[in-house]
Structure 1
Amino acid sequence: MPFTIIVTVKRKAGTTPQQFRDHYNNGHVPLVKRLTGSTWPKHTRQFVIRNETKPANPDADKTSNEVWQSEVLRGSPSNVDFDCLTTMVWEDRAAWDRFLQKFYEHSEEILADELSFAEPFEIICVEEPVTTDRD
């Protein structure tokens, strides 16, 4: 049975959404993929759509969510406190364990890179997806 985790990743203060996306896609993912080798999972990233707005406070940090508001169809943009929803899927729990072993071998380098562009985050184990298709 596949083993899946999800992560909500928030960009580091002082980082624009584009800088965050660029480093995640072109720096962090290739680094971790190279260091973990054949244990690398299916890795999907969905970035929150953020639009540059004119903040009420003219002194607002130009990289803040006050300036870069999330596009929300229901609810408040201020409630969206992450920038990317990441899903990682391994063939099974044993494959996850092999990945973790490789990850821990290189954890200092990986975690240093994470903290260069993102805030610390939780890793959440989830069940298999339940899908309802169109008729």
Structure 2
Amino acid sequence: MISFTQFVLLLLLRSKKHISSSMVYSILLLVTRKPGMSWPDFKHHWETQHVPLIKRFVGDDFPLSHTRHYFERNNDDKPNVTYGNPHGVDFDALAILTFSDRDHHARFSEKLSNQETHELHIADLEKFIDLGRFKQVMIEGTEATGRDGGMVGWRFVGSV
């Protein structure tokens, strides 16, 4: 028989295994494909070459999720902006990389920037994106509301 204190500690330890949306740390990437690269080739390279390369470089420090959102294209091969002024919307995709915390992100970044991987990482990026237009933005917090009105957190993406 365990004591009440042991029971509470056990509950706390178990709850630490579940990551809440307030604990995760995310970055947003705004990505423009390399000039002259076709839309299908851009997506194909990111999915079949770049992501596997990153996974190989960082191993267990790969993000909890690396979600890529590709913008729908119109007849002029521009992002299909359906509301507002399309001026300045010149990105082809955005990605959200979600980490368990800042330390997880730091380990990921360190592995990508070490002498062994940095040059290979940049060389691969140059094959499919326009690095001069690439943007990375740190995300302070994430809130998501499900269809039923409840909060769903970062785990909602792709779970439907």
Output the TM-score relative to the length of structure 1.
0.82
Q: Aligned with 1:50: secondary structure?
A: coil
**1:63 match:** none
Seq. identity, %: 35
Matched, 1:71 2:80: yes
Matched, 1:119 2:130: yes
- Name the count of aligned residue pairs: 121
Give the distance between the partners of 1:47 and 1:128, measured in 2 at CA. Answer: 22
Once the 2 structures are TM-superposed, how far is the Cα of residue 131 of structure 1 from its aligned partner?
Answer: 2.6
Matched, 1:49 2:58: no
**Unmatched 5+ stretches in structure 2:** 1-22, 150-160
After TM superposition, list the pairs within 5 Å mapping 1:96-111 onto structure 2: 96-105=105-114, 106-111=117-122
CA deviation string 1:68-117 (max 9, x = no partner): 12222112445321011100011011111111121112111011110111
Q: Relative to total residues, which structure has the larger helix share, 1 or 2? A: 2
1:28 corresponds to which of 50, 53, 58: 50
Q: Relative to total residues, which structure has the larger strand share, 1 or 2? A: 1
Whether contact under 8 Å (2:78, 2:90) holds in the other structure is no
After TM superposition, list the pairs within 5 Å mapping 1:56-95 onto structure 2: 67-95=76-104
RMSD: 1.5
Give the distance between the partners of 1:11 and 1:96, measured in 2 at CA. Answer: 24
2:33 corresponds to which of 1, 5, 11: 11
**Distance 1:16-1:76 versus aligned 2 partners, 3 A rule:** farther
**Unmatched 5+ stretches in structure 1:** 54-66
Q: Which has the higher contact order (CA 8 A, sep 6+)?
A: 1
Partner AA of 1:49 in structure 2: E
Structure 1 or 2, whichever has the larger Rg, is 2
Once the 2 structures are TM-superposed, how far is the Cα of residue 32 of structure 1 from its aligned partner?
Answer: 0.8
